Chain A
Amino acid sequence: QQPVQSPQAVILREGEDAVINCSSSKALYSVHWYRQKHGEAPVFLMILLKGGEQKGHEKISASFNEKKQQSSLYLTASQLSYSGTYFCGTYSGGSNYKLTFGKGTLLTVNP
């Protein structure tokens, strides 16, 4: 089952903050976050692991509530370059390493 992302879309002015949520009905081992510019490949942002470890390439913060099977991505002091569609992908453990993606959140940052 796909994780549920909210909101579906958000419009910001440069410098404003946003939170994108990802919720799963299954127990999770990890949550992955990706950003996709229109027509391009998704780009890795961050992985949050059960137990608290985080791995990421950018100065973006996120949280992972294992008990609630929820993750949130925090975009602070947004820049124009933050515009794009954000996807969370969830992995519930098991031997198939299947990552299931949500439907995405479209973030638009205006000047």
Chain B
Amino acid sequence: EAQVTQNPRYLITVTGKKLTVTCSQNMNHEYMSWYRQDPGLGLRQIYYSMNVEVTDKGDVPEGYKVSRKEKRNFPLILESPSPNQTSLYFCASSSISGANEQFFGPGTRLTVL
């Protein structure tokens, strides 16, 4: 089954404790992206990747890091989480093109205390 998986689905942590949210896709997509969703603000892009070892900032990259060492994986790293990073996070993937749908993972609900 074609899918994007994320782990963990729920995470409660404390300020400053480094964490990683994993994202994996099995569709051989070149393009992967991370979004955060906050009430009333829609989906805002954090980082994206066009292919292995090619990443770039989205609209809200501060406080986040990513890496793309393998085509299927695109982890999101919070080196020192803060309460304002409490949010719902989605990973998505698609073929390279503005004409193809993005497939979203199930989401990770992160709470930073």
Contact = CB atoms under 8 A, between A and B. Distances in A.
B102 interface: yes
Interface stretch (B19-27, B43-51, B61-69, B72-80): B43-51
Interface in A8-53: 29-30, 32, 39-44, 47, 49, 53
In terms of DSSP, what is the predominant structure of the interface of chain A?
loop
Given A32-B101, A97-B31, A87 B43 contact: yes
Contact of A103 (B31, B41, B45): B41
Contacts of B81: none
Contacts of B107: 39-41
Interface residues of B, number: 29
A96 B50 contact: yes
Given A42-B104, A96-B48, A97-B31, A102 B99 contact: no
Given A97-B31, A101-B42, A104-B42, A42 B101 contact: no
Contact of A87 (B42, B48, B59, B103): B42
A32 B98 CA distance: 9
Given A40-B106, A96-B48, A47 B42 contact: no
Interface size class of chain A, counting residues whose CB lies under 8 Å from the partner chain: 20 to 34
B43 A42 contact: yes
B34 interface: no
Given A41-B90, A42-B90, A55 B99 contact: yes
- Which of B33, B40, B44, B104 has the most C-beta atoms of chain A within 10 angstroms of its own C-beta? B104
17 contacts: A29-B98, A32-B101, A41-B107, A42-B43, A42-B90, A89-B102, A91-B98, A96-B48, A96-B56, A97-B31, A97-B96, A98-B48, A99-B33, A101-B43, A101-B44, A102-B42, A104-B42
